[in-house]
Structure 1
Amino acid sequence: MKRAIANPQARPGANLPPAQLAAVRRAIDTHCERPGALLPILHAVQDALGYIPPGALPLLAHELNITRAEVHGVVSFYHHFRSTPPGRHIVRLCRAEACQALGARSLERHAKQVLGIDFHETTRDGAITLEPVYCLGNCGCGPSVLVDADELHARVTPDAFDALARRAREVAA
């Protein structure tokens, strides 16, 4: 059941750009009748936009008849969800035990230093977002790195990481 809006000028989602509003509405329309609809909606929004715009939270709360705090709590609890646009490339470093045993912690420190960012951050040039992941299914060949969603790299050394980062920046430019 939808809530009445006291001030139509303050309509939830009114501050979103039209393309973002359309993507959020599509996600709502597709998943709103499902039990536990919030997570599928959030995944659909992030899949469409690359992140969950903060301006979408009031609209999601209104449409699902839950509080903004509940929506914010879910978005902020799950590290998968981003509230800012990601870089043009997402680099995921495996942090699972098998990769750690093969040097992932050292690679993680190197990556953060080279990129000048921490996990869940994006380089100043907007080229790379660094994300942790807890298994890429490449356990015997760690440390492993996934660039975007389709480029898996095994036995990544600091030099190999530097080459991946350089290539991502060149492609992003």
Structure 2
Amino acid sequence: MSNQIEEHSVRVAAICDQMSGLEGPLLPILHEVQEEFGHIPDGAIQTISKKLNLSRAEVHGVASFYHDFREEKAGKHVIKICRAEACQAMGADQLGEQVRRHLKVDWSQTTSDRKVTLEPVFCLGLCACAPAAMVDGKLVGRVSTDRMNRILDEVRS
């Protein structure tokens, strides 16, 4: 085990110890681990499974089911574009294509300069303001191509 994986495992174990008394601690632990490291690092699933007496498959299943958990660190900025039906009807598919071409990445990928991660999301709750996006945790409604170009210019600078 490399030193970094070992260091991560020690910190993940401490997070588990701190939160294991919660009812249903798995999701809060995964969120805390992601908050700490920016992703779910190698070895974390094994450490969590041992601490919670769950199988690695159970922990991996939960971590891989939710789109917010990632195996690699995100870029400095995270852009999420809604892909749900209301946003699709208002041009989200075209918007997503524009952003993917502009950034030269696919969904759930990070630009080579590590500045921007593009993620799909299936409903931000802004259906009346479609198409919707989230930029670094801030909701943005009625995202036109011009508005997205301004956002992209801002996060790439």
Give the TM-score band, short-chain normalised. 0.7 to 0.9
Separation (CA, whole Å) in 2 of partners of 1:137 and 1:49: 28
Q: Which residue of 2 aligns with 1:121?
A: 109
Q: The residue matched to 1:71 in structure 2 has which SS?
A: helix
The amino acid across from 2:17 in the alignment is D
8 A Cα contact 2:79 2:119, kept in partner: yes
The 3-state SS of whatever aligns with 2:33 is: helix
Task: Output the TM-score relative to the length of structure 1.
Answer: 0.79
CA distance in 2, matches of 1:73, 1:54: 15
User: Normalising by the residue count of structure 2, what TM-score does the alignment of the two structures yield?
Assistant: 0.86
Deviations 1:112-156 (A, max 9, x none): 111111221111110111112222232222211110112x32222
Q: CA deviation at 1:160?
A: 2.1
Q: Specify the code of the residue in structure 1 equivalent to 2:33.
A: V
Within 2, Cα distance between the matches of 1:49 and 1:94?
25
| Alignment correspondent of 2:29 | 41
Of stretches 139-148 and 72-81 in structure 1, the one that deviates more from structure 2 is: 72-81
Q: Secondary structure at the match of 1:79?
A: coil
1:144 equivalent in structure 2: 132
Name the Cα RMSD after superposition. Answer: 2.2
Size of the aligned set, in residue pairs, is 157
Quick check: 1:23–1:49 contact (8 Å CA) kept in 2?
no
Deviation at 1:111, TM superposition (A): 1.2
- Identity across matched positions, percent: 43
Match for residue 73 of structure 1 among 61, 79, 88: 61
The answer as to whether partners of 1:91 and 1:131 remain within 8 angstroms in 2 is yes
1:169 match = 156
Contact 1:127 1:168 (C-alpha < 8 Å) held by counterparts: yes
SS in structure 1 opposite 2:5?
A: coil
Bigger Rg, which one? 1
> For 1:82, what is the secondary structure of its paired residue?
coil
